[in-house]
Structure 1
Amino acid sequence: MGNDQKNKLFYFTASSSAAQEHVTKTIKNSVNLMDYADYIDNGFLDELENPENVNMWGATPGTSNKSNWNKLEKVYRFLLYGSNQTFTHYGRVIAKVQNHQLAESIWGTTTKGETWEYIFFVEIIFKTDISIKEFNRFVGYSENFTPQGFSFIADTKLEKIINKYNSIDTAIKTLNDGIEYENDLKQNDPEVSEDNKDDQDLEYETGIKSKIRKIKNYINAKGFSYKPGTIENFYLSLKTKPFVLLAGISGTGKTKLVQLFAEAVGCNGEQFNLISVRPDWSDTSDLLGYTNIKGDFQPGPLIKTIKLANQNPDKPYLVCLDEMNLARVEYYFSDFLSKMETRKYKQDRIVTDELLSDIIFFEKENIEVADKHEYEGLHLSENLYIIGTVNMDETTHPFSKKVLDRANTIEFNQINLMDLPAQNDLDIETLNEENQFLKTKYLNLIDALPEKKSHIEEITGILRDINEILKSANLHAGYRIRDEINFYMIHADNYRLFSNDSQENQNKALDYQIKQKILPRIQGSSRELKNILIDLFDYFADTNFKVENRKISEQMIQHLENNQDIKYPQSADKVAHMIKRYEQDGFTAFWI
């Protein structure tokens, strides 16, 4: 700690397109200084450990820049503030030199004829993804502060950070991984003692936010872009329950998301199974298999994956049921839904009742079913994750509440045709995750009550308010929905994937859950339903629209466009468009 007290942290900015070109040239890529040896003193080259492979930055002449450059010493830490209001790199200074010719030969000159001659050479410690909002809160700046140029963090602020985290490296890694609040939790919670601190730390040490960032980088590098929060929400949905629906119009990247997510976490080969659902499927045997008249068991497309998952409990297995509602889901998938409800802990594993019944292993007279022993005793294991993609159009079947109550339904309907894939050099490293990364922690709400009682009471109180609005039309949520929303919210609170700010993170997470667990169940044509939707909008957006107004959906949509401080913006927007559909057709549903 003592040594780091002498260290410093500074930042420099590269927000313009020209500065981003410099980032690409000398930060993301290295420079071979031997190519510029004519401009550099041999003694200086000898100081560098590897002059053929260095990263570097420079500042133009100016009183402030020169003063800050003069302060630089080896090992001083820096953050690079790039585009999209994000800090993208963290590293340390390894050398510095003032060299006009070198700077001009590498970066050229400004329109004023100046060049970035106050050069410092750096080592990149790790890439970062730290928003300006997170940085300002962490350091103690005002929330509207925006970095400009080249500047040091004040000693008084840096001292507080080092005292709290022991070193600058630890502090920035903690901020980057999204767990800076974890230290606050330990300091402020008297129940966190030295005896149980290791257990409390386990969840944070997994670096979930860092892993999600790598998954997003992998998907982006493959040329696919999803709106902010999509990957985080998909992960938390899988973590809550291993059955998720991706619903929307055709061509919005639902199936590709599942494929790329599987690749990114290391579910390749037999750990990923893409199954195209057929319109003529009518019962469980279409997925699991059946016994033919000769007594031979004909395995279905899913049974091999289930068997592998049972045999390898530490590996995650992802199954994508593509166009899941081409056939009636209640016909061919009802047994799976029922078995999911039998989940229970057996020692430290989550198991279900046996999956294959005697009906599937039908034995005719004295004919014994071949290979029966291979598939007997299989269950839906905790490492099997089923994701259904759903197109809601005239060629498909709607879902019953039985299905919707048991899944998180993530909507894919918003299209931005101008969101073109960008060329990038993002790190496309894939993970090789074990099942612990996706495995749920809770099956029953009572399991979470001891450690999360106040949090559960707060969330359940909000759900109770929403239920009061819904119950007049018998649309209110039951215990299963209450429990699963709370599980999602607990994981969201633990990992802070949407924001490091506790309240902001909670609002965003609950917004997803309202839209995914409560709103999909709403449909109808009664006048009472419109009144309910108006009340929901008022609750989500903190407004007071009058029921008497005949055409109010456009006013609602306009209100959302003009206000950025809506508590639950996604849910409010969805309800406004459901009201618009009602005003146009006299009927509305979530699937519009």
Structure 2
Amino acid sequence: MLEEKGLLNISEKEIGSSEPVQDSEKDNLIEINEEEEFLKKFQQITRSEEFNLFYDEKDLFNFHTSLKVGSLVILAGLSGTGKSKLVRAYSKAMQLDEGQLNFVSVRPFWEDDSDLLGYPDTINSVYRPGDSGLTDALIEAGKNRDKLYLICFDEMNLARVEHYFSQFLSVLEMDADIRNIRLYNKDLEKRFYNSDQYPATISIGKNVLFVGTVNLDESTYHFSDKVLDRANVISLNILPFTGMYADAPRKNENVPKDRISYDTYSKFRNSKFGHQLQERELDFLWKLHQVITKSNKNIGVGWRIVNQINEYLQNLPNFGPLGRDEAFDSQVVQRVLTKIRGSEEQLSNLLGVYGSPTGEVKESKLIAVFDEFSDVSSFDRSRKDVQEKAKEISLHGYTI
């Protein structure tokens, strides 16, 4: 039935499977302990004097799980809230060296991937890499598949992401053995003096993690649906400032000594801890898709999003503060509701009517779906997101 709806390419055997895990219980326990220890260290580092970040622990688990899935992760939030520092803290938890963590400062004038990667200089018969350093980092990562590499695009939306990042958007959803970025035409390879250093194509292994930080203001571009279809957009919640300095740990307290290798990190991925999407969750996504497409046929819940939500839930640790119901709710916000934007005329029936000063949203088709499937999740984050969008429409006549 669900396959006829065209949403998901998952066999019935995989959905809600109750078959026993093939790995030994001892191996599973070791993997759980390693990941749990890593996440404890990650949280401790964020709270350390060096970083002094006070994010909700659920957001840290969400960030970690999103990275494990292997797609692009985008951190959104107020300027000055430590989005870039969070990436550095994650890098420190993994004990990456200087060459394994690469920050790419996005420039407003970037128009295509040659601004990011570089270009072939046919006059002088050389390839000239971009000054971002990304090309060299990716080549190094390809030579060291046993190491993890973390690439962060700082202020990612200063230029249009779908332009300068176009190759990556297509490649990141492919299998590891065919994830290749083309630097130039292969026919030029024999002519270039530095083709040994810069071949025509470079591969992007699963040992490379991609993160972007964004500020949503008048100086930046908003994401296209092509980007949102392929990214987990996480809006970070800041904890109350009360006790922020009183409870701060000492400098360098509980800093990990062991570097996380790619082999160790890969054991965190696709764990047997979580479960695939259940029938009730799939029914919810289908109903959500139907409701959204009635308002705008160009947006909805595509098969790509459903499969990526499924993979996220598979990778969700079975320990910690982030339960499955909250994780599913977060994925609805990060993968579906981010695409709902437009004018009051388009979206008023979908989002509902915002009531001031109570903030109550009435006659919302989205909230009606959340109510119908309250056994799946309370959808607290989704409800809040719908409320914010309804408020924007009430004040400005549109939501972005």
Report 1:63-82 matches (<5 A): none
3-state SS in 2 of match to 1:388: strand
* Distance 1:515-1:211 versus aligned 2 partners, 3 A rule: same
Alignment of 1:495 onto 2:325: no
Paired with 1:314 and 1:518, the residues of 2 have a C-alpha distance of 34
Alignment of 1:463 onto 2:292: no
Paired with 2:226 and 2:320, the residues of 1 have a C-alpha distance of 29
Among all aligned residue pairs of Structure 1 and Structure 2, give the percentage whose two residues are the same amino acid.
30
Paired with 2:28 and 2:192, the residues of 1 have a C-alpha distance of 46
The alpha-carbon deviation at position 261 of structure 1 amounts to 0.7
The alpha-carbon deviation at position 553 of structure 1 amounts to 6.5
Alignment of 1:554 onto 2:359: yes
Q: Which has the higher contact order (CA 8 A, sep 6+)?
A: 2
1:486 pairs, out of 282, 290, 310, with 310
* Gapped regions of structure 1 (runs ≥ 5): 1-188, 345-349, 500-504, 535-546, 558-564
Higher Rg: 1
1:512 pairs, out of 330, 338, 356, with 330
Equivalent position of 2:68 in the other structure: 239
* Gapped regions of structure 2 (runs ≥ 5): 1-16, 363-374
The alpha-carbon deviation at position 574 of structure 1 amounts to 1.5
Alignment of 1:306 onto 2:141: no
Alignment of 1:368 onto 2:191: yes
Paired with 1:236 and 1:532, the residues of 2 have a C-alpha distance of 30
Measured against aligned partners, the alpha-carbon deviations of 1:47-73 in whole angstroms (never above 9, x if no partner) come to xxxxxxxxxxxxxxxxxxxxxxxxxxx
Equivalent position of 1:251 in the other structure: 80
Aligned residues: 357
Alignment of 1:287 onto 2:130: no
1:261 pairs, out of 84, 87, 90, with 90
The alpha-carbon deviation at position 584 of structure 1 amounts to 1.1
The alpha-carbon deviation at position 513 of structure 1 amounts to 0.6
Structure-1-length-normalised TM-score = 0.56
The alpha-carbon deviation at position 334 of structure 1 amounts to 0.4
* Distance 1:419-1:243 versus aligned 2 partners, 3 A rule: farther
Structure-2-length-normalised TM-score = 0.80
Report 1:225-236 matches (<5 A): 225-236=54-65
Equivalent position of 2:259 in the other structure: 432
Question: CA contact under 8 A between 1:551 and 1:583: conserved in structure 2?
Answer: no
The alpha-carbon deviation at position 278 of structure 1 amounts to 0.8
3-state SS in 2 of match to 1:320: strand
Measured against aligned partners, the alpha-carbon deviations of 1:282-326 in whole angstroms (never above 9, x if no partner) come to 111222221223122222220111111111112110011101111
Equivalent position of 2:385 in the other structure: 574
Alignment of 1:420 onto 2:225: no
Question: CA contact under 8 A between 1:320 and 1:388: conserved in structure 2?
Answer: yes
Paired with 1:228 and 1:578, the residues of 2 have a C-alpha distance of 25
Which one has the bigger helix percentage?
1
* Distance 1:585-1:568 versus aligned 2 partners, 3 A rule: same
3-state SS in 2 of match to 1:480: helix
Paired with 1:307 and 1:256, the residues of 2 have a C-alpha distance of 25
Report 1:74-473 matches (<5 A): 191-192=19-20, 196-198=22-24, 202-206=27-31, 207=33, 208-221=35-48, 222=50, 223-292=52-121, 293-300=123-130, 301-341=133-173, 343-344=174-175, 350-359=176-185, 363=188, 368-376=191-199, 377-412=201-236, 416=240, 418=242, 420-421=244-245, 422-425=247-250, 426-439=253-266, 441=269, 452=275, 455-473=277-295
Question: CA contact under 8 A between 1:204 and 1:495: conserved in structure 2?
Answer: no
* Distance 1:375-1:570 versus aligned 2 partners, 3 A rule: same
Question: CA contact under 8 A between 1:498 and 1:509: conserved in structure 2?
Answer: no
Paired with 1:310 and 1:210, the residues of 2 have a C-alpha distance of 28
Question: CA contact under 8 A between 1:351 and 1:382: conserved in structure 2?
Answer: no
The alpha-carbon deviation at position 461 of structure 1 amounts to 2.3
* Distance 1:375-1:351 versus aligned 2 partners, 3 A rule: farther
Measured against aligned partners, the alpha-carbon deviations of 1:376-409 in whole angstroms (never above 9, x if no partner) come to 2421111111101111111111110000110100
The alpha-carbon deviation at position 498 of structure 1 amounts to 2.6
Paired with 1:197 and 1:481, the residues of 2 have a C-alpha distance of 29
* Distance 1:452-1:506 versus aligned 2 partners, 3 A rule: closer
Deviates more, 1:222-231 or 1:265-274: 222-231
Deviates more, 1:241-250 or 1:478-487: 241-250
Question: CA contact under 8 A between 2:117 and 2:183: conserved in structure 1?
Answer: no
Paired with 1:554 and 1:489, the residues of 2 have a C-alpha distance of 32
* Distance 1:288-1:190 versus aligned 2 partners, 3 A rule: closer
RMSD over aligned Cα atoms:
3.0
